[in-house]
């Protein structure tokens, strides 16, 4: 039986913001999301990176990757559709040029990796093994699997297991599996990710979408379709977190999708997330992570509770 929801206390909260995600202890539950915070300390011009729970860098492959043809981003109502295509310098260049800047900024660094085969995930993880200054690896499984007919890894339990086992064998770091909401097997895949070595799951990546140029009668993005992100998918993210927490209550979750203020962060925590990531909001306002962090701290103080006490509270 689950414990009852926490009752606000008149006693002061000594550690209002500290949370744990598996074996990783974070100073607070607000992180900058992969893909919107850059590869290095770019956000440091606007936000004290040391004040955040962590910075999840843009996903890295073992070697450099050019990404998709332009245009890559386009507005879609209250959301954004993108098909950047995981452009990146590769692990070696990142370790040499970007990681030192993040370390000097005092950031808690979570490196994100991707691949097109299980072996490529293993190679990216192996290249980061033993590198100082990395707290955890986020394994981005929302990538086409060249060994499996180009279906996304996160849509296939067997492919998910293979990628995570390859990364786990090489990394020597806590693994967080970033999953896709574009499947009715999400709960099953989350359990497989846990069994394959993930200490936590990140829910969820973008929702498949497309925008058309009606004058030209063709997609506006160079790659055709892309991933929808921002406030329009927040309810999807809350449902993903809710369903996985209900099915796997002992599996830590990092919630991501449409977080833009304290209330949207609290929703994900109450649905079952131990921490949240701020992504698309950063592209609108590069200070968004700091604003969410400050707003969440005020919300917790006003409600005389702490972040850890909110996790899964809505499940009763």
SS3 labels along 69-84: CCCCEEEECCEEEECC
Whole-number pLDDT of residue 149: 57
Between the two ends of the chain, the Cα-to-Cα distance in Å is 9
* DSSP 8-state code for residue 221: B
- Digit-coded pLDDT (tens) for 191-249: 999 999 999 999 999 999 999 999 999 999 999 999 999 999 999 999 999 999 999 99
Across 64-217, where does the E strand assignment appear? 73-76, 79-82, 109-113, 136-140, 175-178, 200-203, 207-209, 212-213
Whole-number pLDDT of residue 9: 36
Q: How far apart are CA 293 and CA 296, in angstroms?
A: 5
Whole-number pLDDT of residue 78: 87
Question: Burial of 45 by CB count in 10 Å (0-12 exposed, 13-18 middle, 19+ buried)?
Answer: exposed
Whole-number pLDDT of residue 316: 86
Q: Which parts of the chain sit beneath pLDDT 70?
A: 1-14, 146, 148-150
Cβ atoms of 229 and 80 within 8 Å: the answer is: yes
Residues facing 20 on adjacent strands: 25
- Digit-coded pLDDT (tens) for 59-70: 999 999 999 999
Cβ atoms of 135 and 109 within 8 Å: the answer is: yes
Whole-number pLDDT of residue 145: 72
Name, in order, each residue with C-beta under 8 angstroms of 123's C-beta and a sequence gap of 6 or more.
62, 115, 170
Whole-number pLDDT of residue 14: 55
Cβ atoms of 103 and 90 within 8 Å: the answer is: no
Residues facing 60 on adjacent strands: 113
Residues facing 109 on adjacent strands: 55
Residues facing 110 on adjacent strands: 56, 136
Instruction: Supply the residues annotated as catalytic.
Output: 143
| Crossing angle for the helix pair 234-247 and 262-271, to the nearest 10 degrees | 20
Whole-number pLDDT of residue 168: 95
pTM, 2 dp: 0.93
């Amino acid at each position: 039986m689950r414990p009852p929801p926490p009752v606000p206390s008149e006693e002061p909260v000594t550690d209002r913001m500290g949370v744990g995600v598996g074996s990783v202890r974070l100073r607070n539950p607000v992180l900058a999301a992969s893909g919107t915070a850059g590869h290095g300390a770019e956000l440091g011009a606007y936000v004290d990176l040391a004040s955040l729970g962590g910075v999840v860098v843009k996903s890295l492959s073992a070697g450099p990757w050019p990404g998709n043809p332009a245009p890559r981003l386009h507005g879609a109502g209250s959301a954004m559709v993108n098909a950047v295509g995981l452009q990146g310098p590769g692990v070696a260049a990142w370790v040499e040029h970007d990681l030192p800047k993040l370390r000097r900024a005092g950031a808690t660094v979570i490196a994100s990796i991707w691949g097109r085969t299980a072996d490529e995930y293993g190679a990216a993880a192996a290249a980061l093994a033993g590198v100082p200054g990395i707290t955890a690896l986020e394994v981005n499984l929302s990538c086409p699997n060249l060994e499996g007919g180009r279906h996304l890894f996160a849509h296939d339990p067997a492919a998910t297991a293979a990628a995570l086992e390859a990364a786990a064998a090489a990394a020597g770091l806590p693994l967080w599996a970033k999953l896709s909401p574009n499947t009715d097997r999400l709960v099953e895949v989350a359990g497989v990710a846990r069994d394959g070595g993930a200490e936590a799951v990140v829910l969820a990546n973008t929702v498949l979408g497309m925008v058309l140029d009606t004058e030209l009668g063709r997609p506006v993005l160079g790659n055709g379709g892309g991933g929808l992100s921002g406030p329009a998918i927040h309810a999807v993210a809350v449902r993903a977190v809710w369903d996985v927490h209900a099915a796997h209550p002992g599996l830590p979750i990092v919630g991501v999708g449409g977080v833009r203020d304290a209330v949207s962060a609290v929703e994900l925590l109450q649905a079952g997330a131990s921490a949240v990531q701020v992504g698309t909001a950063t592209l609108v306002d590069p200070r968004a992570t700091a604003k969410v962090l400050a707003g969440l701290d005020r919300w917790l103080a006003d409600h005389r509770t702490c972040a850890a006490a909110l996790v899964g509270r809505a499940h009763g």
